[in-house]
């Protein structure tokens, strides 16, 4: 069996994740499998629901919570987590905010994040935002 020499992916490609932190170690390169894991993210507009009391828009660059899609028959028992990555915190963008979104789990129904799709973000059973997938 002959192995090709593995080369690390370009560092400027944010969509590429190494499958193991030591995958590009010089000791393991001869044994490295040619497996790549790509995480697909999508540009989205997030319209935050009015929050009462001390609630406000998120102040962080990353936000993760559960999503509810129209086709979710057994929600919240079978809910999928969504990760939102912001260039600027939503509190600075105001409302609505722009983000890159992706599912947290690899096994998630990625086909649901298609342009024009609309779904809700929840914190527990509280609807906190409506998401529109832009690309």
> pLDDT for 49-62, tens place per residue?
987 544 678 999 99
pLDDT confidence of residue 38: 56
pLDDT confidence of residue 88: 95
Contacts of residues 47-50 at CB distance under 8 Å and 24 or more positions apart, as own/partner, are: 47/95, 47/96, 47/129, 47/130, 47/131, 47/132, 48/90, 48/95, 48/96, 48/97, 48/128, 48/129, 49/127, 49/128, 49/129, 49/130
**What distance in Å separates the CA atoms of residue 16 and residue 117, rounded to the nearest whole number?**
25
pLDDT in tens, 80-106: 999 999 999 999 998 999 999 999 999
pLDDT confidence of residue 17: 42
Q: Any idea what the CATH number is for the domain that residue 90 is in?
A: 2.40.30
pLDDT confidence of residue 81: 95
In the chain, how many domains are there?
2
Phi, psi of 55, deg, nearest 5: -65, 145
Same domain, 17 and 74: no
Could you tell me the residue range of the domain that residue 26 belongs to? 6-38
Same domain, 71 and 109: yes
Same domain, 65 and 98: yes
pLDDT confidence of residue 50: 87
pLDDT confidence of residue 6: 47
Same domain, 25 and 46: no
pLDDT confidence of residue 73: 87
Same domain, 19 and 71: no
Same domain, 97 and 49: yes
Q: Which is it for the CA torsion 26, 31, 35, 39, positive or negative?
A: negative
Same domain, 47 and 97: yes
Residue 45: beta bridge partners? Answer: 98, 132
């Amino acid at each position: 069996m002959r192995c090709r020499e593995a080369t690390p992916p370009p560092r400027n490609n944010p969509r590429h994740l190494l499958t193991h932190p030591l995958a590009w170690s010089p000791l393991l390169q001869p044994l490295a499998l040619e497996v790549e894991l790509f995480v697909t993210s999508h540009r989205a507009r997030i319209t935050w629901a009015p929050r009462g009391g001390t609630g406000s828009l998120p102040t962080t660059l990353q936000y993760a919570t559960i999503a509810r899609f129209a086709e979710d028959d057994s929600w919240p028992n079978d809910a999928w987590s969504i990760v939102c990555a912001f260039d600027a915190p939503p509190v600075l963008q105001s409302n609505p905010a722009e983000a890159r979104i992706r599912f947290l789990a690899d096994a998630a129904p990625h086909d649901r994040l298609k342009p024009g799709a609309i779904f809700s973000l929840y914190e527990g059973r509280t609807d906190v935002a409506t998401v529109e997938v832009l690309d």
